[in-house]
C-alpha cells in the first residue's frame, strides 16, 4: 500500500511540475493569449499545479521515508526524519521542491497575473522539474560519469515538462467554453511545433544517455526485467505522442488555418488529437512514476 502511495504522489508531483513549468513557459513564448487580458482559467491551472505540489511533496517525502524505514511508526522517529530530509537526495530535493511550490502559490496569490508572474512561475517550475533528477536514479551514478547522467536527467525532465505543460494549455484553450481567436491559435500551434521539435530532440538524446546508465543494450536482459517492460510501455506512449504531434502539425494545423469556425470539424478534430496527446503525456508520467521505484536492469545483474 505504501509503495503505491509513493507512486501516486510521484505522479502528482511530476504532473504539477510539468504544468507549473511547461504551461508558464508556453504562455510566455506563444501568442495564444492577449497579454493585456488573461483568462481566469490560466491562473487556476498554474495555481492548481502549485497547490498540488505543496500537498504532494511533503506527503510523498513521508511515504518514501516510511517505505525505507519499514513502517509509519519508524518514519515518525525524529532521527529518521532528520536523516531522510537532510542527508538523502530525495529528502533534500523534496525540501527544495516544497519551498519552490510554496513560492509559486504566493506569487499567484499576491502578484497581478501577467507576464511577470508567468516568468516567476516558469523559473520556479524549472527548478521543480530539475529537482526530479534527485528523486529517481539520476543522482545515483557515482564518479565523473555521474554528472553526465544527472545532467541528462535534468534536461530530460525539463524537456518533458515543457511538452506536457504546453499540451495542457492547448487542450484547455480548445475546450468549447473557451473560444480562442483563430489567428492567435494557429500562430501558437506553429510556435509550439517549432519548440516541440527541439523538446523531442532533447528527450530522445537524454533518453539514450539515461538508457545507457540504467538499462544497457542487452535487449534480452531488458525483456526479462519488470523495469524493461515498464520502460517499453513508456516508449510506446512516447511514440504515440510523436505520431499525434506530427498529425497536429502537418494535418490539423494547416486545416485550421484555412477554415476556423468554433465547433467546426477541423477544430473538433484538433481538440480530440490534443486531448489524446495530453492523456498520453500524463500516462508517460505515470510510467515514469513507477520506473523511479523499480531497480534498473543493470542493477539486476
What is the maximum span of the chain, computed from C-alpha positions, in angstroms? 65
Measured between alpha carbons, how far is 127 from 123 in angstroms, rounded to an integer?
Answer: 6
Looking at residue 159, what is its pLDDT? 96
In the chain, the number of structural domains is 1
Q: How far apart are CA 173 and CA 131, in angstroms?
A: 29
pLDDT in tens, 255-289: 766 555 444 566 778 888 999 999 999 999 999 99
Identify the burial level of 5 via C-beta atoms within 10 angstroms of its C-beta, where 0-12 means exposed, 13-18 middle and 19 or more buried. middle
Conformation bin of residue 175: beta by default, left when phi > 0, alpha when psi is -120 to 50: beta
CB 121 within 8 A of CB 135: no
Mean local confidence (pLDDT), 204-229: 82
Q: Which CATH number is 193's domain given?
A: 1.20.1630
Rounded CA Rg of the chain: 20
- Of all helices (H) and strands (E), which one includes residue 242? helix 226-247
Task: Single out the residue of 129, 103, 110, 108 nearest to residue 118, CA to CA.
Answer: 108
pLDDT > 80? residue 161: yes
What's the CA gap between 26 and 18, in Å, rounded? Answer: 11
Give the CA-trace dihedral at 208, 212, 218, 220, to 10 degrees.
-60
Q: List, for residues 82-135, the tens digit of each pLDDT value.
A: 888 988 989 999 999 999 999 999 999 998 888 889 999 999 999 999 999 998
CA distance 150 to 146: 6
Q: What are φ and ψ of residue 276, in 5° steps? A: -65, -40
Whole-number mean pLDDT of the chain?
A: 86
Burial 258-276, CB ≥16 within 10 A → b, else e: eebeeeeebbebbbebbbb
Domain extent at residue 222: 2-300
Amino acid at each position: 500500500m505504501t509503495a503505491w502511495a509513493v507512486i501516486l504522489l510521484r505522479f502528482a508531483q511530476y504532473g504539477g511540475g510539468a504544468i507549473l513549468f511547461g504551461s508558464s513557459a508556453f504562455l510566455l513564448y506563444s501568442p495564444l493569449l492577449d497579454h493585456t487580458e488573461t483568462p481566469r482559467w490560466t491562473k487556476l491551472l498554474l495555481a492548481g499545479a502549485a497547490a498540488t505540489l505543496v500537498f504532494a511533496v511533503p506527503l510523498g517525502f513521508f511515504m518514501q521515508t516510511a517505505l525505507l524505514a519499514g513502517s509509519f511508526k519508524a518514519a515518525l522517529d525524529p532521527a529518521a526524519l532528520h536523516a531522510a530530509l537532510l542527508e538523502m537526495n530525495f529528502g533534500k530535493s523534496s525540501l527544495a521542491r516544497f519551498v519552490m511550490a510554496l513560492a509559486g502559490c504566493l506569487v499567484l496569490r499576491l502578484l497581478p497575473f501577467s507576464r511577470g508572474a508567468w516568468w516567476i512561475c516558469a523559473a520556479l517550475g524549472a527548478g521543480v522539474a530539475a529537482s526530479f533528477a534527485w528523486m529517481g536514479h539520476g543522482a545515483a551514478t557515482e564518479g565523473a560519469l555521474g554528472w553526465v547522467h544527472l545532467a541528462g536527467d535534468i534536461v530530460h525532465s525539463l524537456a518533458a515538462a515543457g511538452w506536457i505543460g504546453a499540451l495542457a494549455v492547448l487542450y484547455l484553450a480548445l475546450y468549447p467554453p473557451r473560444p480562442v481567436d483563430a489567428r492567435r491559435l494557429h500562430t501558437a500551434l506553429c510556435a509550439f511545433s517549432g519548440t516541440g521539435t527541439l523538446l523531442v530532440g532533447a528527450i530522445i538524446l537524454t533518453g539514450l544517455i539515461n538508457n545507457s546508465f540504467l538499462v544497457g543494450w542487452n535487449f534480452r536482459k531488458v525483456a526479462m526485467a519488470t523495469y524493461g517492460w515498464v520502460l517499453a510501455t513508456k516508449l510506446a506512449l512516447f511514440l504515440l505522442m510523436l505520431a499525434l504531434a506530427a498529425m497536429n502539425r502537418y494535418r490539423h494545423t494547416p486545416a485550421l488555418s484555412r477554415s476556423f469556425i468554433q465547433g467546426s470539424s477541423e477544430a473538433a478534430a484538433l481538440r480530440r488529437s490534443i486531448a489524446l496527446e495530453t492523456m498520453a503525456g500524463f500516462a508517460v508520467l505515470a510510467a515514469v512514476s513507477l520506473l523511479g521505484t523499480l531497480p534498473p536492469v543493470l542493477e539486476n545483474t
